[in-house]
Amino acid sequence: MNLSQDTKNILGLQLPTDPRWVNLAEISLEAILTDHAYCEQKAATTCITLIQRYSDREQLVKSLAPIVTEEWGHFRLVLQELHKRGLKLGKQRKDLYVNKLIEFQQKGGSPEDRFLDHLLMMAMIEARSCERFKRLSEGLNDAYMAKFYRRFMESEAGHYTLFIELAETYLPKQKVRARWAEWLNHETEIMQDLEVRGDRIH
Ligand SMILES: [Fe+2]
Ligand SMILES: [Fe+2]
């Protein structure tokens, strides 16, 4: 069994990241680290938004408050790597992948359904980040960077689990699982679509 199969089994992702994404020789480290830094920034920002929006849900606030610190810590670690190499944090690029996930979120429905989708979208992003960091840690020749990404991979795997667990804290497990299966299917379509368009995703 190869490692991508492992990831698929662990996270339920149906497609691995397009291997071209890890054709790292063609992508500058500055671009990889810049994209990565903004992923961490968005993760921290979204956790803050969830806390603001669902302040009445004690367990959620308690669980996500330290994640904000952790994600912002990740941002700082990435920034440190950029600066160490004399590289600069570039501009944030349009994130087609995340935009497509946002489109899938229920806009109508009950507040509970919207709450569930908010958590599952975060679980999805964490799962895919985990898989991408795994790719990076396996695809980078630099042993230091490989280790650097392995640490992130482990951390994001923990976050994926946390978002699913939070959903199951507030909603019936069966409902969470059924909707999660829909998210996984939809994400597969997004990945295929992005691959056809030849967009580099991150
Ligand atoms: Fe992170
Ligand atoms: Fe995370």
Which ligand has the minimum distance to the alpha carbon of residue 38? 1
Which ligand has the minimum distance to the alpha carbon of residue 127? 2
- Residues 28-38: pLDDT tens digits? 888 889 989 99
Rg of the chain (C-alpha set): 17
Ligand 2 centroid distance, CA of 154 (Å): 10
Which ligand has the minimum distance to the alpha carbon of residue 152? 1
pLDDT value at position 163? 96
Q: How far apart are CA 162 and CA 158, in angstroms?
A: 6
Higher-confidence residue: 8 or 14? 14
Instruction: Say if residues 101 and 125 touch (Cβ distance below 8 Å).
Output: yes
Residue 143 clears pLDDT 50, i.e. is over it: yes
Ligand 2 being an ion, which residues bring their Cβ within 5 A of it?
43, 126, 156, 159
Ligand 1 centroid distance, CA of 63 (Å): 15
Ligand 1 centroid distance, CA of 26 (Å): 24
pLDDT value at position 93? 85
What is the domain partition of the chain in residue ranges? 27-197
pLDDT value at position 137? 86
Ligand 1 centroid distance, CA of 71 (Å): 4
Q: Over range 109-128, report the average pLDDT.
A: 94
Ligand 2 centroid distance, CA of 100 (Å): 19
Chain mean pLDDT for the chain? 86
Instruction: Say if residues 184 and 4 touch (Cβ distance below 8 Å).
Output: no
Residue 46 clears pLDDT 70, i.e. is over it: yes
| 27-197, CATH topology level | Ferritin (1.20.1260)
- Residues 66-104: pLDDT tens digits? 999 999 999 999 999 999 999 999 999 888 888 999 999
pLDDT value at position 1? 31
- C-alpha torsion 144→140→44→91, nearest 10: 110
Three-class DSSP labels, the chain? CCHHHHHHHHHCCCCCCCHHHHCHHHCCHHHHHHHHHHHHHHHHHHHHHHHHHCCCCHHHHHHHHHHHHHHHHHHHHHHHHHHHCCCCCCCCCCCHHHHHHHHHCCCCCCHHHHHHHHHHHHHHHHHHHHHHHHHHHHHCCCHHHHHHHHHHHHHHHHHHHHHHHHHHHHCCHHHHHHHHHHHHHHHHHHHHHHHHHCCCCC
Instruction: Say if residues 134 and 147 touch (Cβ distance below 8 Å).
Output: no
Ligand 1 centroid distance, CA of 74 (Å): 5
Residue 168 clears pLDDT 90, i.e. is over it: yes
Confidence of residue 11 (pLDDT cuts 50, 70, 90): low
Which ligand has the minimum distance to the alpha carbon of residue 163? 2
Ligand 1 centroid distance, CA of 92 (Å): 16
Q: Which two tokens stand for residue 173?
A: 């497990």
Ligand 1 centroid distance, CA of 151 (Å): 10
Which ligand has the minimum distance to the alpha carbon of residue 133? 1
Which ligand has the minimum distance to the alpha carbon of residue 159? 2
